[in-house]
Amino acid sequence: MNDLLFEMTQWLYTTPLNAFAQGVSESRMSEIVVSWFWAIPLMQTVHILAIAGTLVAVLMLNLRVFGLAGHATVQETARRYTKVLWWALVFVAITGVGMLFGDTVRNLLNSIFWIKMTLLVAGMALALGYSRSVVRQTAGGGQVVSAGTRTTGIILVALWCLIILAGRWIAYAPA
Amino acid sequence: MYPEPTNIWERIEYSSFGTAIAESPWMFPTFEVLHVIALLTVIGTIAVVDLRLIGVASRGNRVSLIARDMLPWTWGAFALAAVTGALLFASKAHSYMINPWFLAKMSLMALAGLNMLYFHRTVWRTVGDWELDTPFPPAAKLAGWLSLIFWVVIVFCARAIGFTLGIYY
């Protein structure tokens, strides 16, 4: 596994991404982020809080869908947590981009980073699709959603745990 | 070969238990990921209740019902965070105990706990009398604000530990 990740990282260095990453790392924005020691920890703090918002929104909506928690209707719960999801995902994206300026080369030319990005895009799309699907299916006052939607909910929680895992693993990836 | 321990923290760090975690290629990262997932769940579930207390979110919902939904998850996740946190601590106990950010994180967690304890033993006892009011009593809002601030700063301290571990002697 480590060999494969290392080869992926080596391959990334042969792509135009290398020149792009080098260019970004020499930009004014990168200079600002790198020169202020606390810029990255502060952005990471907001990033982590936004991921906490996303994880809990997905978790709580799931628990309501499965009847394991929640006092409001499924529809009300879905609407409430969809708002949380949107806000959280906006902050995940903004702080994620901001942090890239802090260590562009190590991130963009890192196999785990791209695995995380793939999972993140899937996680974002699936989370918003899931909440929308729950709202649609319970629009008539029903409290039950399809088996497919319930399965998606379970996959979604696992997917966000994987995103968190990949986020931490970037630091351990062979470079 | 590790040097002879000179205090309790070095004794923990140099123990077979502590060195096993520190030397393993997978243990520290695995416990770290579990710790992060647990901590995010703790913070997220607490924030849902706090945001209701300060009147920012879920305004149409009774705070007692929101708390009832959240608290089992908060405590379950907190137990996991405590266990994984202790395992991570054992691998670098001495380094953590001389790191001001780690000490600040632990102090703030104690303050967050005291804030919650005080709130539950005072204002929360009469929640049925005020949870339909708008706005909530100042003491309830204050507890919500304090909790939010404590947990945000705890996350910052947690990240700061990663950036400063090993620079203090």
CA of A103 vs chain B CAs: smallest distance (Å): 14
- For the ranges A129-133, A137-141, B17-21, B75-79, the lowest mean pLDDT is seen at A137-141
Q: What is the mean pLDDT of chain B?
A: 91
Of B29, B32, B40, the CB nearest to A55: B40
Determine the distance in angstroms separating the CA of B45 from the nearest CA of chain A, rounded to an integer: 6
- What whole-number distance in Å separates Cα of residue B32 and Cα of residue B127? 37
Q: How confident is the model at residue B122 (pLDDT cuts 50, 70, 90)?
A: very high
pLDDT above 70 for A175: no
- To the nearest whole number, what is the mean pLDDT of chain A? 89
SS (H, E, C) chain B: CCCCCCCHHHHHHCCHHHHHHHHCCCHHHHHHHHHHHHHHHHHHHHHHHHHHHCCCCCCCCCHHHHHHHHHHHHHHHHHHHHHHHHHHHHHCHHHHHCCHHHHHHHHHHHHHHHHHHHHHHCHHHHHHHHCCCCCCCHHHHHHHHHHHHHHHHHHHHHHHHHHHCCCCC
Per-residue confidence (pLDDT) for residue B36, from 0 to 100: 93
- Cα–Cα distance, A108 to A114 (Å, whole number): 8
What pLDDT shows up at residue B62? 87
pLDDT score, position A3:
82
Tens of pLDDT, residues B38-73:
999 999 999 999 999 998 887 778 889 999 989 999
The yes-or-no verdict on residue A95 having pLDDT over 90 is yes
Q: What is the pLDDT of residue A24?
A: 92
Residue B86 in this model has a pLDDT that exceeds 70: yes
Nearest chain B residue to A157, by CA: B37
Chain A neighbors of B159, CB-CB under 8 A: 41, 44-45, 48
Answer whether 0.90 is exceeded by the pTM.
Answer: no
Average pLDDT over residues B125-146: 88
Give the span between the Cα atoms of B108 and A3, in whole angstroms.
42
Q: pLDDT over 70 for what percent of chain B?
A: 99
Q: Is the pLDDT of residue B108 over 90?
A: yes
A57: nearest CA in chain B?
Answer: B44
Would you state the pLDDT for residue B6? 84
Residue A51 confidence class, pLDDT cut points 50, 70, 90: very high
Q: How far apart are CA A54 and CA A130, in angstroms?
A: 13
User: Is B33 in Cβ contact with A49 (below 8 Å)?
Assistant: no
Does residue A136 carry a pLDDT above 60? yes
pLDDT at A8: 85
- pLDDT, residue B160, reads 92
Write out pLDDT tens, residues A67-91. 888 778 888 888 888 888 999 999 9
Cross-chain residue pair B29–A172, CB shorter than 8 Å: yes
Q: What distance in Å separates residue A99's CA from the closest CA in chain B?
A: 13
Please check the confidence at residue A172 and state whether its pLDDT lies above 80: no
Q: Which residues of B touch A (CB under 8 A)?
A: 29, 32-33, 36-37, 40-41, 43-45, 47-48, 57-58, 61-62, 65-66, 68-70, 72-73, 152, 155-156, 159-160, 163
* Model confidence at B8: pLDDT above 60: yes
User: Which amino acid, residue A58?
Assistant: V
Give the pLDDT of residue A160: 92
pLDDT band at B132 (very low <50, low <70, confident <90, very high): confident
pLDDT at B74 over 60: yes
In the prediction, which pLDDT does A174 show? 59
Minimum mean pLDDT range among A124-128, A133-137, B151-155, B162-166 = B162-166
The DSSP call for residue A69 is S
